[in-house]
Structure 1
Amino acid sequence: MSLLYSVRKHAETDERGRVVALIFSIIDRYLFREAAAASFAVFLVLFVVLAANRSIDYLADAAGGEIPAEAVAVLMGLQVLRYLGVVVPAALFIGMVLAMGRLYRDSELPVLAACGVGPALITRGLAYLAVPVAVLVFVLSVYVAPWASYQADVYSEQAARDVDLGAFQAGQFVGGGDIGTLYAGDSAGEGELREVFVYVQDADREVIVRADRAVQDYRPETGDRYLVFGDGYRYDGKAGQRDWTVTRFERHGLLVDTREAVDVERDREGTATAELIGSDHLADIAEVHWRLSMPAMVIVLTVLAVPLAKAEPRDGRYGKLLSAVLVYVAYFQLLTTGHEWLEEGRTPAELGLLWVHVAALLAALAWTRYRFGGLWPVRRSGSLGN
């Protein structure tokens, strides 16, 4: 059942005074449903892009043997939680613009405007969606993001200590760290490598090991990691000299890494908001204002979406998409600049980033007045709004 049909049906059965209140209730629910559906679709797209972008780096680390393959999913999930506070406002804003753009294209909002439904009432309907989302973003930015940032650092350190030979890809040279250079021609599964070649720089001498197979022996109590070779040769010497020592072995262990467990220090992004609030450091104050800016941005973007989405019936369905992206980028960039100014002391700490939101809100109200002639349109004689 369409919105206008529902309004007409109730208008025929109820008293006129009650109809107006009922119309607005129906409009609120209709705008909520349309904006929520569009915003959720945009969120899914942005979520996939964010997850794919974050997973690329971790997959590269796993392929290079820096972290175990099973750690990729956990680290990716923590990083997604870290950035959801920025993604959700963007998804909501773009979704609102797309939803209302469709309503303008189908002439639904112009008809409602003729009945006295102005931008203030449209904003009210969108606010039923924006306010809960702002609360969600507040929780994500103030509590979840710092926790996820710190947990990602802790888990990365733990994963780097627990990495095993199963993370190495057979047929590829892997270099870096104390292990020097490692190559395995084949893998037998369960962490065992075949046709292994290892090069290690030991002080002013070089060590080369060639073996038929190798497994890792990790000792968590000390953090030592050994490569245990079977059936091979070890060559010790110095480049350019002839005093190389060749040793044949059936079993040989080589210490390739000593990584003791360390306490991961919290950086500013991983510090709890309650701890930052009591700080006098400008960078800490700027971080607090940045986190609080995300839910505030949700409310301001909702007001901005109303004049931005206004379109003519012949405009394309996605005609306002580029404009919405540009508006969001400009707003976010202004917040970023304000954050840098606050860190450098160019703006008062008491003012924080409030000036950015106030400026954006005033611009939204001025834009609304320009596009609609005011928040409450003049109702025509004989219309439903009288």
Structure 2
Amino acid sequence: MSLFKRAVVSEITSHAGIVFSTLLVVWLSVLIVRLLGQAATGDIGANVVLGLAVFSSITALPVILAVSLFIAVLTTVTRSYRESEMSVWFASGLSLYQWLRPVMQFALPVAAVVAVLTLFASPWSYGQIAEYRQRFEQRSDLSRITTGQFIETDDGKRVFFAEAPKRKGDELGQVIARVIEPDWLSVITADSASIETEANGDRFVVLGPGHRYDLKPGTPEVRLLDFDRYGIRIESRTSPSAIEASRREALQEVKARPTVELLRSGDRESMSQLMWRIAFPLAVLNLAFIALPLGAVNPRLGRSGDLLVAGLIALLYMNLINLSRGWILNGSLSFGLGVWLVHAAFLGVGLFMLWRRTRVARPRRRKARPA
């Protein structure tokens, strides 16, 4: 490898490592804060925060790698122009076209890693995230009924207090529950509790054996009921929160499908997800290529405007990929066209910008003065 290629690859690697580590730390900080907030409100378990953070980071790696490579190439080229190092390379007989080989030499392995992540690792990670959340949802409402603590559910209409189980096999020991209904105020005591899920998705806390005391506020009417098993519905699949959870599960299910299954399915939802997975490796190469002409700046001018334009172009690229994904899902765009249209357009823009940066302007002809 020549001195020029070694210098370019080394500097891009250094910049990419710094940008990647910075973006990853920022992402992890925001993610962990969000997950801890969900754990504090009881949406997820505290014991799954670390696992969810790891799997969520794997799903975010394609975007982080693409942005890191784009910024690394952009800053390397910009620095060479700012510090007049590019003039030395140009005087040595090199042009901006010679930068393509070392840049692509670094970008191709990154694109290969992104392809593995989007086609295989990310679907597996989404599946693990869905499994974590599903496991917690199956026991989330019961896990809120912690031994030795008063726990409120359903906006305070139900209050539970449970002791530690005394018999082997019981999930909870003696339980006291207060339930507020439109006409009755109920106090329920039971020797044990467990959770059961019906075929329609409704979940119940099953108490028993025990007693139920009903009081009608404002009247002397009292009812007493002894039971062997008593179920309290804690979540219905027709509730707004359950419907929203079902929508999230459906979206997560599509993202978790293996790539081979998406190819076999062939429906619009699968094709839109497949397009998104194929788009990111191509976007890595395109962004690295576009960064070359974008980084070619005038050393005498300020650099804020050039960096802003570069950031807007990269943001537009990513948004158009997501927009194409939505068009394929809605049937407005075919998969065969959507999978390459955005990339071809930006590749054409990059080629035009590179030609503009490298072309030599013809000298102007001076008009001969009349004698």
Residues 182 and 53 (structure 1), Cα distance of their counterparts in 2 relative to 1, 3 Å cut: farther
Match 1:42 to one of 1, 13, 19: 19
CA-to-partner distance for each residue in 1:48-88, whole Å, 9 max, x for gaps? 33223333443222112232211111112212212222221
RMSD: 4.3
CA-to-partner distance for each residue in 1:146-194, whole Å, 9 max, x for gaps? 11112111111112334465798x99975338x844499xxxxxxxxxx
Measure, in 2, the Cα distance between the counterparts of 1:167 and 1:106. 65
Measure, in 2, the Cα distance between the counterparts of 1:43 and 1:176. 43
Match 2:48 to one of 61, 66, 71: 71
User: What letter matches 1:366 in structure 2?
Assistant: F
Q: TM-score, with normalisation over the residues of structure 2? A: 0.74
User: What letter matches 1:290 in structure 2?
Assistant: W
User: What letter matches 1:200 in structure 2?
Assistant: V
Query: Equivalent residues in 2 for 1:188-199 (5 A)?
Result: 199=178
Partner of 2:320: 334
Moved more, 347-356 or 363-372: 347-356
1:114 shift after superposition: 2.3
> 8 Å contact 1:64–1:167 — kept in the other structure?
no
Identity rate of aligned residues, in percent? Answer: 26
Partner of 2:107: 130
Tell me if 1:101 matches 2:87.
no
> 8 Å contact 1:137–1:295 — kept in the other structure?
yes
Partner of 2:349: 363
Match 1:285 to one of 256, 263, 271: 271
Measure, in 2, the Cα distance between the counterparts of 1:217 and 1:314. 75
Tell me if 1:323 matches 2:303.
no
Query: Equivalent residues in 2 for 1:234-383 (5 A)?
Result: 236-244=214-222, 267-315=253-301, 320-373=306-359
Residues 237 and 32 (structure 1), Cα distance of their counterparts in 2 relative to 1, 3 Å cut: farther
CA-to-partner distance for each residue in 1:204-225, whole Å, 9 max, x for gaps? 633357x9xxx99667999976
Q: TM-score, with normalisation over the residues of structure 1? A: 0.71
Measure, in 2, the Cα distance between the counterparts of 1:308 and 1:236. 74
Moved more, 157-166 or 72-81: 157-166
Residues 369 and 217 (structure 1), Cα distance of their counterparts in 2 relative to 1, 3 Å cut: same
**Number of equivalences:** 334
SS in 1 for 2:186: strand
Tell me if 1:84 matches 2:61.
yes
Moved more, 293-302 or 236-245: 236-245
Residues 338 and 243 (structure 1), Cα distance of their counterparts in 2 relative to 1, 3 Å cut: same
Measure, in 1, the Cα distance between the counterparts of 2:18 and 2:145. 36
CA-to-partner distance for each residue in 1:91-116, whole Å, 9 max, x for gaps? 21122212222222111122212222
Measure, in 2, the Cα distance between the counterparts of 1:70 and 1:44. 26
CA-to-partner distance for each residue in 1:8-67, whole Å, 9 max, x for gaps? xxxxxxxxxxxxxx6xx2222211121122122222222233223333443222112232
User: What letter matches 1:26 in structure 2?
Assistant: L
Moved more, 279-288 or 233-242: 233-242
Tell me if 1:207 matches 2:186.
yes
Match 2:153 to one of 175, 189, 205: 175
User: What letter matches 1:347 in structure 2?
Assistant: L
Partner of 2:243: none
Measure, in 2, the Cα distance between the counterparts of 1:217 and 1:276. 42
Measure, in 2, the Cα distance between the counterparts of 1:95 and 1:183. 56
Higher relative contact order at CA 8 Å, sep ≥6: structure 1 or structure 2?
1
User: What letter matches 1:27 in structure 2?
Assistant: F
Residues 118 and 176 (structure 1), Cα distance of their counterparts in 2 relative to 1, 3 Å cut: farther
User: What letter matches 1:299 in structure 2?
Assistant: L
Measure, in 2, the Cα distance between the counterparts of 1:80 and 1:154. 16
> 8 Å contact 1:98–1:318 — kept in the other structure?
no
Measure, in 1, the Cα distance between the counterparts of 2:206 and 2:40. 20
Measure, in 2, the Cα distance between the counterparts of 1:138 and 1:238. 64
Partner of 2:98: 121
Residues 327 and 240 (structure 1), Cα distance of their counterparts in 2 relative to 1, 3 Å cut: farther
